[in-house]
């Protein structure tokens, strides 16, 4: 497979170098795969941090900036960052008010974050709280998880936690809104092709020319069903109905949506999916307050998409509308 890389074992290091070179608001902690705000730690504000395996760009470091994250740790491709690096990140982002961690529900991520939090509390007396995001409605247990997986709904959790911290909220209030967003969000995805990791140089799973996988995970974990190729409307119906059945929003509710590309899907096709999604929501008596379409949490070069729906209230709308400026997401005032 053809890829724009040098050596497979250098790709994460070189990606981070390139990211920091492109965005002056970011800096890398020396000797680590941790990226933080250039002005971190921000005094008088709770630091918001996250981390996980590489290959999901712009997740994770792409959401560092005003109104969202203060730091993000990158593991090797599809591999959790080490506890040592996560602890360095937490301590580097503590401006005196503590640090809040957004953790996707994968066993390695959860275990390493829990260890890192203990290290930061012991070494630097840092106050730390965290949320474990588990928005994937497809499966209850998967290859790398106990319980539901954390996927593109995590972007909404980053946004509301970051906005709350920017307001000057304390750890308890940030935890409250992060848990609220996690409780109200659902996601389901599909793969038209496998992804190809730099190390293997070949597809990570087999999928026939006439097959797709419904309910796929962002690392290629098995989904709920492997079926013949379906139309965009049929795929959208399947994914959206599963998410809405899980959320069960009240008629008349306002929602925010993400049609997220997996890395190899043309934006044209994602807009076709969004067209059908918005029709379905209207038919259900739901009002879309905000709709995002693009690559927000990818799986390298996988062709496919996921659909995320967040049921809103006034507080969540205010936090989502608050200004943010990051490489991967910008929200302007007004």
% helix / strand / coil in the chain, to the nearest 5? Answer: 35, 25, 40
Residue with tokens 């247990």, as numbered in its chain: 141
Residues 44 and 92 in one domain: yes
Residues 249 and 209 in one domain: yes
Residues 78 and 151 in one domain: yes
| pLDDT score, position 139 | 82
Residue 122: give its domain's CATH number. Answer: 3.40.50.10440
- SS (HEC) of 184-236: CEEEEEEECCCCECCCCCCECCCCCCCEEEECCCCCCCCCCEEEECCCHHHHH
213 inside domain: yes
The domain boundary residue, chosen from 163, 183, 203: 183
Residues 173 and 275 in one domain: no
For residue 194, the tally of other CB atoms under 10 A from its CB is 22
91 inside domain: yes
166 inside domain: yes
Q: Are strands 71-77 and 47-54 parallel, antiparallel or unpaired?
A: parallel
26: its two tokens: 């970011």
Residues 175 and 211 in one domain: no
* Per-position pLDDT tens, the chain of length 334: 789 999 999 999 999 999 999 999 999 999 999 999 999 999 999 999 999 999 999 999 999 999 999 999 999 999 999 999 999 999 999 999 999 999 999 999 999 999 999 999 999 999 999 999 999 999 876 666 678 999 999 999 999 999 999 999 999 999 999 999 999 999 999 999 999 999 988 888 888 999 999 999 998 887 889 999 999 999 999 999 999 999 999 999 999 999 999 999 999 999 999 999 999 999 999 999 999 999 999 999 999 999 999 999 999 999 999 999 999 999 997 6
| pLDDT score, position 144 | 61
DSSP 136: B
Residues 222 and 165 in one domain: no
What value, to the nearest 5°, has the Cα angle with vertex 67 and ends 111 and 109? 10
1 inside domain: no
CB 81 within 8 A of CB 94: no
3 inside domain: no
26 inside domain: yes
How many angstroms separate the CA atoms of 62 and 82, rounded?
20
5 inside domain: no
Q: What is the domain count for the chain?
A: 2
User: Would residue 60 show up in a list of annotated catalytic residues for this protein?
Assistant: no
Q: Which of these is catalytic: 60, 166, 219, 238?
A: 219
Residues 230 and 107 in one domain: no
How many angstroms separate the CA atoms of 56 and 79, rounded?
11
DSSP 153: T
ω before 301 within 30° of 0 (cis)?
no
170: its two tokens: 């304390």
Strands (E) located in the chain: 26-28, 34-37, 47-54, 71-77, 99-104, 128-133, 185-191, 211-214, 225-228, 254-261, 287-294, 304-311, 324-325, 330-331
* Segment 34-77, tens digit of pLDDT: 999 999 999 999 999 999 999 999 999 999 999 999 999 999 99
Residue 230: give its domain's CATH number. Answer: 3.30.1180.20
| pLDDT score, position 130 | 98
Residues 172 and 238 in one domain: no
Residues 70 and 139 in one domain: yes
The domain boundary residue, chosen from 183, 218, 234: 183
Residues 100 and 213 in one domain: no
Determine the structural domain holding residue 54 and report its residue range.
10-183
Q: Which of these is catalytic: 56, 60, 158, 166?
A: 56
Using only C-alpha atoms, what is the Rg of the chain? Answer: 19
Residues 100 and 122 in one domain: yes
Residues 47 and 143 in one domain: yes
The domain boundary residue, chosen from 149, 183, 217: 183
| pLDDT score, position 334 | 61
4 inside domain: no
């Amino acid at each position: 497979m053809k890829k724009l890389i040098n050596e497979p074992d250098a790709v994460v290091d070189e990606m981070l170098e390139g990211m920091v070179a492109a965005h002056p608001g970011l800096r890398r902690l020396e000797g680590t795969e941790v990226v933080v705000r250039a002005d971190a730690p921000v005094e008088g504000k709770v630091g918001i941090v996250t981390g996980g395996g590489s290959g999901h760009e712009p997740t994770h470091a792409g959401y560092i900036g005003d109104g969202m994250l203060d730091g993000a740790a990158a593991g090797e491709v599809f591999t959790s960052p080490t506890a040592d690096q996560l602890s360095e990140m937490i301590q580097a982002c503590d401006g005196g008010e503590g640090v809040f961690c957004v953790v996707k529900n994968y066993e390695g991520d959860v275990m390493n974050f829990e260890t890192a939090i203990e290290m930061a509390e012991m070494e630097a007396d840092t106050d730390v709280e965290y949320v474990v995001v588990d928005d994937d409605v497809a499966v209850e247990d998967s290859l790398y998880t106990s319980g539901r997986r954390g996927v593109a709904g995590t972007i909404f959790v980053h946004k509301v936690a970051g906005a709350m911290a920017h307001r000057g909220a304390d750890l308890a209030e940030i935890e409250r809104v992060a848990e609220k967003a996690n409780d109200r969000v659902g996601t389901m995805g599909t793969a038209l092709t496998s992804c190809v990791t730099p190390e293997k140089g070949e597809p990570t799973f087999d999928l026939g020319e006439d097959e797709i996988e419904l309910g796929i995970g962002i690392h290629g974990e098995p989904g709920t069903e492997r079926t013949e190729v379906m139309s965009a409307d049929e795929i959208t119906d399947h994914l959206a109905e599963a998410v809405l059945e899980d959320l069960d929003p009240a008629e008349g509710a306002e929602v925010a949506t993400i049609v997220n590309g997996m890395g190899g899907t043309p934006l044209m096709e994602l807009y076709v999916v969004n067209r059908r999604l918005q029709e379905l929501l209207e038919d259900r008596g739901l009002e879309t307050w905000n709709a995002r379409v693009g690559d927000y949490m990818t799986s390298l070069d996988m062709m496919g998409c996921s659909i995320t729906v967040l049921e809103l209230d006034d507080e969540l709308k205010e936090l989502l509308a608050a200004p943010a400026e990051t490489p991967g997401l910008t929200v302007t005032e007004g």
